[in-house]
Amino acid sequence: MADTTLMDKLVSLCKRRGFVFQSSEIYGGLGSVWDYGPLGVALKKNLKDRWWHAMVQARDDIEGLDAAILMHPKVWEASGHVAGFTDPLVDCKHCKNRFRADDPRIKGTPGQPDAQCPVCGSRGTLTEPRLFNLMFKTFMGPVEDQAAIVYLRPETAQGIYVNYLNVLNSSRQKVPFGIAQIGKAFRNEITPGNFIFRTREFEQMEMQFFVKPGTDVEWFERWRAWRMEWCEGLGLTPAKLRFHQHGPDELAHYAKDAFDIQYEFPFGWQEIEGVHNRTDFDLGRHQQYSGKKLEYFDQAANERYLPYIVETSAGADRVTLTVMVDAYREETVEGETRVVLGFHPALAPIKAGVFPLVKKDGMPELATDVYQALKPRFPVFYDDSGAIGRRYRRMDEAGTPFCVTIDGETVANRTVTVRHRDSMKQDRVALDQLEAYLRDQLAL
Interacting residues toward ligand GAP by CB under 6 A: 155, 157, 187, 189, 198-199, 202, 204, 206, 271-274, 311, 313-315, 317-318
* Least Å from the CB of residue 283 to ligand GAP: 14
* Least Å from the CB of residue 200 to ligand GAP: 7
C-beta of 125 vs 313, nearer to ligand GAP = 313
The CA-to-CA distance between both ends of the chain, in Å, stands at: 34
Cα separation, 17 vs 69, in Å, equals 31
In the DSSP assignment, the letter for residue 302 is T
Beta bridge partners of residue 86, listed in sequence order: 133
C-beta of 63 vs 383, nearer to ligand GAP = 63
Cα separation, 337 vs 408, in Å, equals 29
Phi, psi of 189 (to 5 degrees): -60, 140
* Least Å from the CB of residue 344 to ligand GAP: 19
* Least Å from the CB of residue 311 to ligand GAP: 6
C-beta of 110 vs 315, nearer to ligand GAP = 315
* Least Å from the CB of residue 224 to ligand GAP: 14
**DSSP H or E segment with residue 438:** helix 434-442
C-beta of 281 vs 381, nearer to ligand GAP = 281
C-beta of 117 vs 211, nearer to ligand GAP = 211
How crowded is residue 313: how many other Cβ atoms within 10 Å of its Cβ?
A: 21
* Least Å from the CB of residue 204 to ligand GAP: 5
Q: Taking the C-alpha atoms of 384, 389, 393 and 396 in order, what is their torsion angle to the nearest 10 degrees?
A: 90
* Least Å from the CB of residue 34 to ligand GAP: 10
Q: Which residues contact 391 (CB under 8 A, 6 or more apart)?
A: 353, 355, 383, 385, 403
C-beta of 163 vs 313, nearer to ligand GAP = 313
* Least Å from the CB of residue 187 to ligand GAP: 5
Contact 23, 35 (CB under 8 A): yes
Cα separation, 36 vs 19, in Å, equals 6
C-beta of 81 vs 344, nearer to ligand GAP = 81
C-beta of 206 vs 396, nearer to ligand GAP = 206
* Least Å from the CB of residue 246 to ligand GAP: 10
Produce one character per residue of 275-291: b if its CB has 16 or more CB atoms within 10 Å, e if not.
bbbbbbbbbebbbeeee
C-beta of 116 vs 156, nearer to ligand GAP = 156
* Least Å from the CB of residue 316 to ligand GAP: 8
Residue 167: burial class (beta carbons within 10 Å; 0-12, 13-18, 19+) = middle
C-beta of 224 vs 391, nearer to ligand GAP = 224
How crowded is residue 6: how many other Cβ atoms within 10 Å of its Cβ?
A: 17
CA–CA distances in Å: residue 135 to residues 99, 117, 150, 213, 289:
17, 26, 10, 31, 20
Q: Which residues contact 423 (CB under 8 A, 6 or more apart)?
A: none
- Strand locations in 108-252, DSSP E? 130-133, 137-139, 149-151, 177-186, 201-211, 241-245
Query: Residues 170, 174, 178, CA angle at the centre, nearest 5°?
Result: 80
Q: Residue of minimal CB distance from ligand GAP?
A: 315
Cα separation, 311 vs 259, in Å, equals 11
* Least Å from the CB of residue 370 to ligand GAP: 40
Cα separation, 141 vs 130, in Å, equals 30
C-beta of 207 vs 350, nearer to ligand GAP = 207
* Least Å from the CB of residue 279 to ligand GAP: 14
C-beta of 271 vs 298, nearer to ligand GAP = 271
Phi, psi of 250 (to 5 degrees): -100, -20
